[in-house]
Chains A and B, each alone.
Chain A
C-alpha cells in the first residue's frame, strides 16, 4: 500500500514543484497556507471587498497559469509579487474610472456610517489604509501586516531601505492625521 504523502512537511517551494506537476493536494496545502494572507493583502490594498475578490481570483488564476514560469526562489514572494501587481493595476484602473478624492471619501464615510464607536474607528482605520497613497499603503501593508523586513520591502518595491522606512512612517503619520478628530475622543 502506497504511503500517504505528508504534504504538510514540505516547504512552499517543494509543494509548488508538485503543483507544477498538477498535484491537487499540494496546491490545496499551499493554498491553505497563503490564501487568507493573500486575500487580506488584496482587501487592504484595494479597500473594496468586491473588487478584492475579483483580484484575488485573478491572482490565483495567474498562479495556476504561470506555474511553470516559477523558477525558484521564495514562493511567498512570487505570490505576493503577483498579488501586488494585480492590486496596483486594479487601484490604478479604478482611479481612472472613479476619480475618488481622498478627503471626500473620508468625510463621506465618517459622516454616514452609523456603527458602534470602536468598530467605527476600526473601520475608519481600514478605509484609511485603503485610501493612503499607493506607495505608502504598500509599504505599510508589507511591513505591518505581512511582516516583511525593510530590506525585503526595499527589494520588492525597488526602493532604498531608508525610503522603505520613511514610507512606513509617513503612512502611519498620515493615518494619525486623518484619524486625529476621532483619536482625541478615544484618548
Chain B
C-alpha cells in the first residue's frame, strides 16, 4: 500500500488497525512522511473549520427570497387572470421597478391599457422610469446575437440555458408615458375595454392567439432576465431582451408596444456601439412596419439596417434584412425589386448555410414564378 493510499484512508477514516500501524511505522521511519501526514491532517482540520464558516450574506439572501416570492405571487396572479387587474390588484405591486414589471407580467394578455394607466398613475417612484416589458421568444428568423456555449443541466428537470447575451444598463425611460398609453390602446383586449365602456366586445377583438400561453411563459423568463441585466448593468443584455420582447409583442400583434420596445432596444445598441444588434433591431422594426402595411417606414428601417452591416462581413444579418426588404417590395407589388433583393438574400444565406435557407429559397422561387 502506498503512502498516498494510507493518507486517503486516513482522511476517510477507514484505516484498519493494521493499516494504522503501517502508517505509524512509516511516519516513524521517515520524517518527511511524518510531516506530510501532519500537514495533510492540518489541511483537513482547516477544511473542517472552513465548513463551519458562514459565508452567506443574510441581506442578499433575503433580497433574493423576496424577489422569487414576488415572482411566484405574480405567476399566481397571472393564473388568476383579469380579475387581478380589474380589482386594482396592482396597487400593492406598484412600488418598485421589479414589482412593476412583475405586475405587467401578471396582467399579460389582459389589457395593456390598464397596465399603462396604472403605470402612468403609479406613485412617483423609480418604477415610472422603467421600461414596460412584455414577452418574447425570438421568432424563427430572429438571430440571437451571441451564444454562451453554456452547459445544460441534465438530471431530473432540465434547464435550458439562454443565450448569454452581454447586456446592460438601465432601459431608457419613456419620456412621455401618456404617449405609450395611447399606443397601448390599440392593443387593448376586448374584455377589458368592454367592461370599461359597458359595451359588448366586437367579435374580432375576442380572438385569442392559441400561442398566448406560450408567450406568457416566455414573458416570465424575459422579465427575470431583464431584471437581472438591469441589476448587472448589462446594457447589451437589456438591448437583446428588449428586442426579444418587441418580437414577441409583434407576434401577439401588440404593435404599439413592440415598436416602443424595439426603439428602446435600438437606443441601447447604439449606446454600446453594437452595429449588428442595431441591424437586427431594424429588421424587427421593418417586419413590424410591413405587417402594419406602413411600407415606406419598413423600407427605411431595413435599408438602415443593411447599411449598418454592409461591408462588415455579417452575411447572415445582411441576408435576412434583404429578405425582409424583398417581402416589403413584394407587398407593394414591385416584383422586380422584390426578386432582386430576395435573390441577394438567398446568395448570402447560402454562404452561411443558414438554418432557414430553404424557407428563403421557397420565397425566392415563389417570386420567380409569380414574375413569370
Q: Known contacts being A44-B55, A126-B50, A144-B51, is A85 close to B228, with CB within 8 Å? A: no
Q: Mark B143-159, 1 if CB is under 8 A from A, else 0.
A: 00000101111111111
- With CB as the reference atom, state the residue of chain A lying closest to B49: A122
Task: Verify if B112 is at the interface (C-beta below 8 Å from A).
Answer: no
Among candidates B54, B56, B71, B154, residue contacting A81 with C-beta atoms closer than 8 Å: B154
Query: Which residues of the partner chain B approach A129 to less than 8 Å between Cβ atoms?
Result: 50
Segment of A4-12, A105-113, A174-182 engaged in the interface with chain B = A174-182
Query: Which residues of the partner chain A approach B61 to less than 8 Å between Cβ atoms?
Result: 35-36, 39
Task: Verify if B232 is at the interface (C-beta below 8 Å from A).
Answer: yes
Task: State whether B46 touches A122 (Cβ < 8 A).
Answer: yes
Task: Verify if A61 is at the interface (C-beta below 8 Å from B).
Answer: yes
Query: Which residues of the partner chain B approach A53 to less than 8 Å between Cβ atoms?
Result: 57, 60
A183 to B164, CA, bound (A): 42
Task: State whether B47 touches A78 (Cβ < 8 A).
Answer: no
Query: Which residues of the partner chain A approach B164 to less than 8 Å between Cβ atoms?
Result: 93
Segment of B16-24, B35-43, B331-339, B343-351 engaged in the interface with chain A = B35-43
Task: Verify if B220 is at the interface (C-beta below 8 Å from A).
Answer: yes
Task: Verify if B221 is at the interface (C-beta below 8 Å from A).
Answer: yes
Q: How large is the interface on A (under 10, 10 to 19, 20 to 34, 35 or more residues)?
A: 35 or more
- With CB as the reference atom, state the residue of chain A lying closest to B153: A85
Task: Verify if A60 is at the interface (C-beta below 8 Å from B).
Answer: yes
Task: State whether A125 touches B157 (Cβ < 8 A).
Answer: no
Task: State whether A36 touches B153 (Cβ < 8 A).
Answer: no
Q: Known contacts being A24-B73, A172-B40, is A165 close to B8, with CB within 8 Å? A: yes
Task: State whether A60 touches B11 (Cβ < 8 A).
Answer: no
Task: Verify if B262 is at the interface (C-beta below 8 Å from A).
Answer: no
Query: Which residues of the partner chain A approach B228 to less than 8 Å between Cβ atoms?
Result: 54, 57-58, 61
Task: State whether A122 touches B53 (Cβ < 8 A).
Answer: yes
Among candidates B157, B221, B231, residue contacting A71 with C-beta atoms closer than 8 Å: B157
Task: State whether B54 touches A31 (Cβ < 8 A).
Answer: no
Q: Known contacts being A28-B69, A173-B40, A176-B43, is A70 close to B156, with CB within 8 Å? A: yes
Among candidates A19, A22, A121, residue contacting B79 with C-beta atoms closer than 8 Å: A22
Among candidates A35, A71, A140, A186, residue contacting B56 with C-beta atoms closer than 8 Å: A35
Task: State whether B42 touches A125 (Cβ < 8 A).
Answer: no
Q: Which residues of B176-204 are within 8 A (CB) of A?
A: none
Task: State whether A61 touches B154 (Cβ < 8 A).
Answer: no
Task: Verify if B7 is at the interface (C-beta below 8 Å from A).
Answer: yes
Q: Known contacts being A89-B148, A176-B39, is A156 close to B155, with CB within 8 Å? A: yes
A185 to B249, CA, bound (A): 65
Q: Mark A135-151, 1 if CB is under 8 A from B, else 0.
A: 00000100011000000
Task: State whether B11 touches A65 (Cβ < 8 A).
Answer: no
Q: Mark A18-59, 1 if CB is under 8 A from B, else 0.
A: 010011100110010001100110011000010001101110
Task: State whether A122 touches B50 (Cβ < 8 A).
Answer: yes
A44 to B57, CA, bound (A): 13
A186 to B72, CA, bound (A): 50
Q: Which residues of B74-113 are within 8 A (CB) of A?
A: 75-76, 79
If A23-B72, A169-B4 are given as contacts, then 10 extra A-B residue pairs at C-beta distance below 8 Å, sorted by A number, are A19-B72, A22-B79, A35-B61, A36-B56, A53-B57, A54-B232, A66-B157, A126-B55, A172-B43, A172-B47
A-to-B contact residues, CB < 8 Å: 19, 22-24, 27-28, 31, 35-36, 39-40, 43-44, 49, 53-54, 56-58, 60-66, 69-74, 77-78, 81-82, 84-85, 88-89, 93, 121-122, 125-126, 129, 140, 144-145, 156, 165-166, 168-169, 172-173, 175-176, 179-180, 183, 186-187
B-to-A contact residues, CB < 8 Å: 4, 7-8, 11-12, 35-36, 38-40, 42-44, 46-47, 49-51, 53-57, 60-61, 64-65, 67-69, 71-73, 75-76, 79, 148, 150-159, 161, 164, 220-221, 224, 228, 231-232
A sample of 28 inter-chain contacts (CB < 8 A) reads: A22-B72, A39-B60, A54-B232, A60-B68, A61-B224, A65-B224, A66-B157, A70-B156, A73-B155, A77-B155, A77-B156, A81-B155, A85-B150, A85-B151, A93-B148, A122-B46, A125-B43, A145-B50, A166-B8, A169-B4, A172-B11, A172-B40, A172-B47, A175-B43, A180-B39, A187-B38, A187-B39, A187-B42
